[in-house]
Amino acid sequence: MNRLSFLLTLLLAAAPARADIVYLNKGDEINGAVTAMDAANVTINAAGKEQSYPRADVMKIQFVKEYNSGAAEPQKDPEITGLLAAPPNPASYPNDGYLTWLNDVNIVINADKSWTVTRRGIRVILRERGKSPAAYLSHNYLPGIQTADIDYAYSLTDSTVSYLNDISLMEGSPYMGYPSYDKLKLVKYAIPNVQVASVLGYQSHSYTAYASTYPFFTDMAFRFYEPVKTARLTVTVPDSLRLSYTEFNLPKGLVFSKTAKDGKSVYIWEASDLPSYRRESDSPPFMRYTPHVALSLDGSWEDLRAALAPLLKERVVITPAMKNKADELTAGKTSDLEKAEALYNWTAKEIKYQSVDLDDYSYLPKPADETFSNKGGNALDKPFLLYALLQAAGFNPEFAYARGKSAPLAENLANIRQFDYAECLVNAGGKQLVLAPLGDKRRYTELYSQLQGARAFKALGTGGPLFTNPDHSADQESEATTADYALDKDGNLSGSYTSRPTGEKQASMRGYKDYKKEDLDRDMEKFVHSIHPQARLKGYKLENLSDLSKDLEFSISLEAAGYAMKAGKYMILKVPGLDYSAADAAQTERELPLFWYARDLNTRTLKLRLPQGYKLYHAPRNVDIQQAGQSYKAAFNASPGLLTFTEEFRLDNTWVDPPDYPKYKALKEAMAQFSENWIVLEKK
Amino acid sequence: MKKTLLLAAMLVPALCRAETLKLRSGPDIEAKILSMDADTVKLEGEKVLPRKTVSEIQFTAAAAAKPQEAAAAASPEDAAAAKAAFAKAGELARKYTGVNGLVLLDSGTEILNPDGTTIDRNHQIRQILKETLKQSWGQIIACAEEGRDRVKILKANVYNPDGHIYTLDPSQIKTSKPQEEGGDFFTSGNVCTQYVMPNVQVGSIVDYETETETYNPFRKDFFFPQWGFQDDQGPVARSEITVTVPENIPLFYSVKNFAGLGEEKPAISSAAGTKTYVWALENVPPMVGEPSMPSYKDVAPYLRTSILKDWSPIFDWLDQMYKERTKPSEELTRFTLDLIKNSRTDEEKAAKIYHYVQKEIRYIALKVGVASGSGGYDANLTWKRRYGCCVDKALLLTTMLEVAGIQASPIVINTNNQAEVDFTVPHLEYDHAITVAEIGGRHVFLDSTNYDYRYPEIASFDYGVHVMNIFDKKIDYVPVPMPKENGSFYDYTMKFSPSGASEITEKMHYSGSREGGLRSYYRSIKKEEQKQNFQSFAKGVAPSAELVSYEVNNAEKIEDPFSIGLKYTAADYPQRAGSIMIIKLPDFEMEPYRINEISLDQRRYPIEYEASMGRYQHYELAIPENFEVVSLPGKIDLSNKYSSFKAECAKTSKTAITCSVAWERPERVIPPADYAEYKAFIEKAASYTKSQIFLRDMTSKEK
């Protein structure tokens, strides 16, 4: 087929057809074009035949819109014709499901600080598994502030253009389960007729009205888990406003330009031939490594605080009921520390956490009395209520927004929309506490790992507006285990162990408080079974499970028939529960850093009483290795009738760059190799 | 004149009510539509809307809600109800400790009116004993289909232990349309009514009642109330369901798992031309979850009712829809015949068509109403769109098979991870659709929803269930394959040097749903990620292992068998203990996580697997010359009613050892009565698989 006839075919194939749906009361759905309706009947042309239905039989009519406006016609799009002239070869992308040929984001900021965003894309399907993800698109909008529309979306398969229509487009609320926060709308759609080698084109636009608490901010990533041929970000700003931006991890070869024309400045970032990422274990959050540009209008943190503080202060509504509650909670507490803890514990437990992002609802908290009476709040409103209760109790707290570790803070962009958490700062008992009551499983001293060492913005308070949260040491994120076991001459093991977790581990284990007793019993049985197939639970204790004012203590006792195996005069066994794997360090090299949200410390002391008539024939060699900010040491000590095992794993460095990966790999291999070793006993 | 007026009303009922117009931008409007043409919608009052500004016209929308009032003060009746509820809660709490909540009343009312409309009321009184229930028990979310149903919250009281009573605040009732992120499932047409009950705390009792009225049923003879009497968060003091039907309509029912809990027969009463049936259970203990247990409806006390005597109306309804949607266009016929032009046998034709529908029709479910929900879309439309859900794909497959001269029918099925369909009472209960075809004298079930299953393989969740064969109008059964037909086959060769340096080769192939499942995984990941996987495999066997090579065969080519293989070396794979060399066979050990279903000492419920299982391993070991065998895993031959495990290691020459394992489970379900025996069997087999190979280095000076 020559090019002219190909384009002609496109034109013919792209002729629009109306596709409405008439829903009848009896359940039928008639697909076709509704041609007329009068007082008595609805007429639809379905499959070339005119059919009439009494209006009384019709439940509803859906008018199906086809999204083909603007620059929808592929045959006129130079990007498409260029692509078709030299289509990408799937063999050149052996890892990938689809290629983003073009990812073009065009932002226009208006003089009144409102802004429009036009997103245009072209994708090519390289192989089967790329079909669904490439053809699925979605966008959100906040009614009242934003509007969003699709201009066009189509697939070009062989010579057929198939446009998206309302049939495979749906809008609704993603937060329906949180009625008090149900504002955001999700629009999702699937482009039809997608095959391997199809070309997909789409464009949508949105408009956001300016609000001081929802200002312009965007953060565009350039590289993803599928390759990108060309990624372009264009931002047009009137000369009356100044744009600030921060570039993160931008690749070499990215082209940046800034031009001025007609009283506007135009900024363009363009990157080409960005390969796909591959999934690697323990990699950092996406925005910590992908190339991206964060943008905001110019301003200072001080100015932001000055603008925000009055709005926040007017929401610090302390009702008599709140004052009474604060008094009740702090009554009898003798120190500020105890009082602050009591207020934190109450907020953490009694106010249901509503998992709704700030960006999906509001950066301005609900008035504190509203959260108090609703008994529910998100990552902004729960801390804000605590702030009010601290005030009610006579503290002089500060209130801050924090950027979790999922993305870096662009320090030069004074913009509230960079934050995804909130927290209270209070001096109590000579300590500066950072309190973030989100869920109901953490003690007041146990900051979420997302917030440990996070950058934060003090919106209500004194001193510099930006600060860094305290980071937990490995000891604050630890588990200390002691175990005492005995082995008999038949290889049966019995004994118990006790564990004291802190930090994330304690919070995770406290999740058992939500189990009913019988479910917990069964979970403990399952846990013991994970040590050995014939292990039986003898008993367990989980103390202080629901009491946030106390640390947890966990102990369990068990027995396992046939734990040690016999081979002639030998009996062999491994340390119960010692099973390290190097499977996550199997790659020879990595592209992405290794990352953990929190430090970690695990210690264990285990005593094993040997069976009568047996002596130690072989114990694994002691190990002591330090690599890449992590360390592992383990040792066996034998005395008559007793073998003592001690180990300590410490993770101090939560970020390991790829060049240091071989060191991490060596550590993991040494640990795994150590746990492969057998303890061999020999009959005396 | 009276007569004329009545006649006029019957002819033009639409004139008498307003329609709801949903606009593409702006709020909905209610207006009477006079007429509509290709470009405009004319409304009463000479208003004209461009048609392109209207997205939907609702003819049967529920009446708009009246302005909402604020909460009323608690009445003496509320106070009495609170007092009674706390008394009941105290009684129940003494009997059941450590539970998350108490269900004091779980009451349903289902009414079928003579005109086919229905009313469904739900009254719950529950005490919240743990924080975890404040969210789920402290709010009401009730969804209904626009144009058919309307939801009302009749009552929503909160009784707090401090004596405060909070009554329903109608001004706080909201509505919302649900939508979840994700590219496969699109639903619309439902509106949910939401209400968060205020001041709910641990210790609060919530007392609420909702009503769903179906004022526009799509079928007036489809009335299938169901009721579960047990809760998984706490005990139920009283659970009851009342079903009222017109006296001339019989009600059929089936109850399950009532043994020891109460009377299976309902209390029946008649009044004012209706007949009322009541089932009630008291003091129902909480359900406690177990690994690999059947679904709730299969193990809880459960009631199904129906006004249909037999399944014919359901078969007829689906048959009519499916027949209409499986008429091939000339274009589809031509295409199908062209597709199979080189296929000689029915098997070849069926395989070609099966693989075509699997590959070329991408899975997207678009559910906008009854017909698309249950009936799917026309096969020709699905073929054009190149996407569809399980029903759409089953209809297209059926259509194309019939074009090829192969008799076929759509099948509706409740997959084996859902409740077993109770065929004693007709009702609508299915979550999936597949196809059955008569091919080469065989009755072959085909599931074209997934991409990865080689003809005639199907997904494991289809096995072992009774299904509705629509065109044959009969109950059919999808058999469970024999273990070898749903198996994993592993071959290992291992060579060891005197220093312990090892070279290991693994080859794996699969049959049945195992093959499709594995293919699906490997096809979904990148080539580089496949390599990472094999590197992890090797490292999982030996920490010092280094991958030498790997192969993934036919991940994207579903017509051919899928297989994988890898080769790796390890500097020190066997463990040394003095002169002893201890060799672990790769994948030999039955790790506890693989047998989690037998982790409990006792079970109340059956173990329910998705499929049968066959696992076959064969090992060839070449050991160094100067090593002698101290001990090998012995021969074992275990079997019981449900499973067998055979394994053996033997020295086949001075330097060669061969081991083999065959673990088969033809059954899918293990009843609780046989659990102890089954658990002991698995534990014995698992303990055996901890066995190691012991060699002694004859040249070592160590003892």
Q: What is the pLDDT of residues A388-442, one digit of tens each?
A: 999 999 999 999 999 999 999 999 999 999 999 999 999 998 999 999 999 999 9
The angle that helices B346-360 and B330-339 make with each other, rounded to 10 degrees, is 120
C-alpha distance from B48 to closest chain A C-alpha (Å)? 14
pLDDT of residue A71: 63
Look up residue B373 and give its DSSP letter: I
CA atoms of B364 and B357, how far apart (whole Å): 13
Q: In what order do the strands lie in the sheet with B580-583?
A: B575-577, B580-583, B693-697, B627-631
- Cβ pair A541, B666 in contact under 8 A: no
Place of tokens 């330009």: A257
CATH of domain A475-683: 2.60.120.1130
Closest-CA residue of B relative to A137 is B183
| Beta carbons of A65 and B24 less than 8 Å apart | yes
Q: Report the alpha-carbon distance of residue B379 to residue B325 in Å, rounded.
A: 6
**B544 to chain A: which residues are within 8 Å by CB?**
669, 673
The pair of three-digit structure tokens given for residue A221, joined into one six-digit string: 């990533």
Which DSSP helix (H) or strand (E) runs through A381? Answer: helix A381-392
B window 6-45, beta carbon within 8 A of A: 11-15, 24-25, 33-38
Reading the block at residue B392, the tokens are: 């759409």
Q: B37-71, pLDDT tens digit by residue?
A: 989 999 998 899 999 899 999 997 776 666 567 78
Option in A38, A129, A162 nearest B35 (CB): A38
- Helices B330-339/B390-403 angle, 10° precision: 70
For residue A192, give the chain B residue with the closest CA: B385
* Structure token digits, residue B553: 């065969």
Q: Is the pLDDT of residue B15 over 70?
A: no
Q: Which segments of A103-209 does DSSP mark as H helices, in order?
A: 131-135
Distance between CA atoms of residues A40 and A124, nearest Å? 48
Neighbours of A280 (CB within 10 A): 19
Which of A21, A135, A173 lies at the smallest CB-CB distance from B177? A173
Give, in order, the Cα–Cα distances in Å from B429 to each of A590, B225, B412. Answer: 49, 12, 9
Span between the terminal Cα atoms of chain A, in Å = 88
pLDDT at B371: 81
Angle at alpha carbon of residue B490, lines to B485 and B491, rounded to 5°: 130
Question: Which CATH number is associated with domain B484-697?
Answer: 2.60.120.1130
- Enter the tokens of residue B429: 């209960």
Residues in chain A closer than 8 A to B145 (CB atoms): none
Nearest CA in chain A to B572: A673
B163 class by beta-carbon count within 10 Å (0-12 exposed, 13-18 middle, 19+ buried): exposed
Interface confidence, given as ipTM, is 0.92
3-state secondary structure of A511: helix
Residue of chain A whose alpha carbon sits nearest to that of B568: A586
Q: Which helix (H) or strand (E) holds B107?
A: strand B101-112
B392/B383 Cα distance (integer angstroms): 9
HEC-encoded secondary structure of A530-572: CCCCCEEEEEEEEECCCCCCCCCEEEEEEEECCCCEEECCEEE
According to DSSP, the residues that pair with B570 across neighbouring strands are B502, B545
Residues A526 and B600 sit within 8 Å (Cβ to Cβ): yes
β-pairing, A565-567 vs A679-683, is: unpaired
Q: For the residues of B485-539, what is the DSSP string, one character each? A: GGEEEEEEEEEE-TT--EEEEEEEEE-HHHHHHHHHHHHHS-HHHHHHHHHHHHH
pLDDT of residue A88: 96
- Give yes or no for B699 touching A (CB within 8 A): no
**Residue in B closest to A63 by C-alpha:** B55
8-state DSSP, A89: P
Residue B254 distance to chain A (closest CA, Å): 27
Assign B448 to helix, strand or coil. Answer: coil
Q: Which of A179, A517, A581 sits opposite B98 (nearest CB)?
A: A517
**Directed axis angle between helix A320-330 and helix A336-350, to 10°?**
120
Which positions in chain B touch A515 (Cβ < 8 Å)? 100
Nearest Cβ partner of A193 from B37, B385, B601? B385
Summarize the confidence of residues B15-26 as an average pLDDT. Answer: 78
Mutation to test the B interface, candidates A60, A157, A319, most B Cβ within 10 Å? A60
What architecture does CATH give domain B76-306? Sandwich (2.60)
Between CA A642 and CA A616 the distance in angstroms is 9
pLDDT number for residue B68: 63
Is the separation of the CB atoms in A427 and A340 below 8 Å? no
SS3 assignment, position A127? coil
CB contact under 8 A, A37 and B363: no
Half-sphere exposure of B310 (CA within 13 A, CB side): 6
Q: Is B12 in contact with A180 (Cβ distance < 8 A)?
A: no
Query: What pLDDT does residue B13 have?
Result: 36
CATH classification code of B312-479: 3.10.620.30
Could you tell me the two tokens for A77? Answer: 């799009």
- The model's pLDDT over B643-666, given as tens digits with 9 standing for 90+, comes to 999 999 999 999 999 999 999 999
Closest CA to A243 of A307, A303, A301, A295: A295
What's the CA gap between B433 and B392, in Å, rounded? Answer: 9
CB B159 within 8 A of CB B127: no
Question: Chain A: residue nearest B143 by CA?
Answer: A176
The pLDDT score that the predictor gives to residue B511 is 97
Residue of B nearest to A176 (CA): B178
pLDDT at res. A6: 35
Sheet holding B118-128, edge to edge: B165-166, B149-159, B205-214, B118-128, B101-112, B236-246, B274-284, B267-271
Residue A160, C-beta contacts closer than 8 angstroms, at least 6 positions apart: A13, A193
Q: Token pair of B296, please?
A: 């709730």
Q: What pLDDT was estimated at residue B3?
A: 37
The answer to whether the Cβ–Cβ distance between A194 and B234 falls below 8 Å is no
Report yes or no: B339 at the A interface, CB cutoff 8 Å: no
User: From start to end of A81-227, where are the E strands?
Assistant: 98-109, 115-125, 136-141, 146-157, 160-163, 169-172, 185-190, 199-208, 217-221
Inter-chain residue contact B362 with A131, CB threshold 8 Å: yes
A373 Cα to chain B: minimum distance (Å)? 6
Asked if domains B76-306 and B312-479 share a fold, the reply is no
The token pair at B329 is: 């266009």
The answer to whether A586 contacts B178, with C-beta atoms less than 8 Å apart, is: no
Contact B281, B303 (CB under 8 A): no
**Looking at beta carbons, which residues of chain B come within 8 Å of A177?**
141
Report how far residue A504's alpha carbon sits from residue A522's, in angstroms, rounded to the nearest whole number: 23
Closest partner residue to A29 (CB to CB) among B182, B219, B372 is B372
Question: What element of type H or E holds B657?
Answer: strand B656-665
CA distance A307 to chain B (A): 32
Instruction: Return phi, psi of residue A560, to 5°.
Output: -135, 110
C-alpha distance from A520 to closest chain B C-alpha (Å):
10
CATH architecture, domain defined by A302-471 = Roll (3.10)
Residue B40 CB neighbours (<10 A): 15
Chain A's closest residue to B322, CA to CA, is: A28
Pick the CATH number of A19-62 from 1.10.390.10, 2.60.120.200, 1.10.150.20, 2.30.30.100: 2.30.30.100
- Cβ contacts (< 8 Å) between B372 and chain A: which residues? 29
User: Which of B539, B572, B582 shows the shortest C-beta gap to A586?
Assistant: B539
Contacts of A659 (CB under 8 A, 6+ apart): none
Residue B595 is nearest to which of A129, A525, A533, comparing CB atoms?
Answer: A533
CA distances to A491, A528, A615, B535, B686 from A573, rounded to whole Å, are 9, 17, 13, 27, 15
pLDDT for position B1: 35
In the numeric block, the tokens 């106010």 are attached to A351
Q: Half-sphere exposure (CA, 13 Å, Cβ side) for A356?
A: 26
Instruction: CATH number for A74-298: choose from 2.70.150.10, 2.40.10.480, 2.60.40.3140, 1.10.10.10.
Output: 2.60.40.3140
Beta strands in B594-643 (DSSP E): 607-608, 613-622, 627-631, 636-639
Per domain, the residue ranges of chain B are 18-58, 76-306, 312-479, 484-697
Chain A neighbors of B687, CB-CB under 8 A = 533-534, 562
Phi, psi of B207 (to 5 degrees): -135, 100
Which helix (H) or strand (E) covers residue B9, if one does?
helix B2-11
Query: Is B141 touching A (CB cutoff 8 A)?
Result: yes
Which of B14, B368, B578 minimises the CB distance to A29? Answer: B368
H or E element: which one contains B563?
strand B563-570
Residue segments in chain A with a per-residue pLDDT below the cut of 50: 1-16
Domain ranges of chain A: 19-62, 74-298, 302-471, 475-683
Looking at chain B, which residue has its C-alpha nearest residue A183? B176
* Bridge-based pairing state of the strands A98-109 and A228-238: parallel
